Structure 1
Amino acid sequence: MPEAALPKTYDPAATESRWQQAWESSGAFHPDPAAPGEPFSVVIPPPNVTGSLHMGHAFNTALIDTIVRFQRLRGKNVLCLPGTDHASIAVQTILEKQLKAEGSSKEALGREAFL
């Protein structure tokens, strides 16, 4: 059997649109409040921005996934809602520290360049 060569880098456009369409057509993003089972919901906080990913990020995701799957196995009507940092305060703090280390600031950079 010939081996398929894997690409050196991930090309999101090659797969994500197909999966997005599959999830949308399955109703994955529209939970049914009338579905049987006791409601159970989890709002996932956004990851802390520390400048680099670490095992804690993976652990948090795995832990929440385990809890959600367990509750579904128990027959609960589960909604798992990812959270977002709408104001990006943590990201802004990291960027400001990097700019300061470079001898600059967000004010010196200007609004458009900073955003």
Structure 2
Amino acid sequence: MEKDHFKDRTADCRRRSMIHPGDCVFICTKNRQRDAKDIQDLNLIKVSRNLTRQEDHPRGQKVQGTDVVTGQKLVGRVVYLTTDGSYIRTAHGDLTIQEWRNYHHKKK
């Protein structure tokens, strides 16, 4: 998952104290970790509970929640926090999905 595709995520996605039930976050599920490269490879979920006991986890907090599109219950590691579910919080500031894609396509 990590490779070079999601290096702009903030350190907050690793901190337990920053993720609460009801928050919307982008997660990478276990089966997508090897091939996730774009925001569309991640799932936007509403967090129901945090599964990681550590306050700070280097690969991101593992959470359980409900996919906001399909309603499916999912478990995965937090890649990005969101602001109101519409802006992705990155090291470069809050970006819309289109701004995130534009930024990553410029880097290539």
Fold conserved (TM > 0.5)? no
Q: Flag the structure with higher helix content.
A: 1
Pick the structure with greater CA Rg.
1
Give TM class, smaller chain. under 0.3
- Structure-2-length-normalised TM-score: 0.21
- Structure-1-length-normalised TM-score: 0.21
Q: Flag the structure with higher strand content.
A: 2
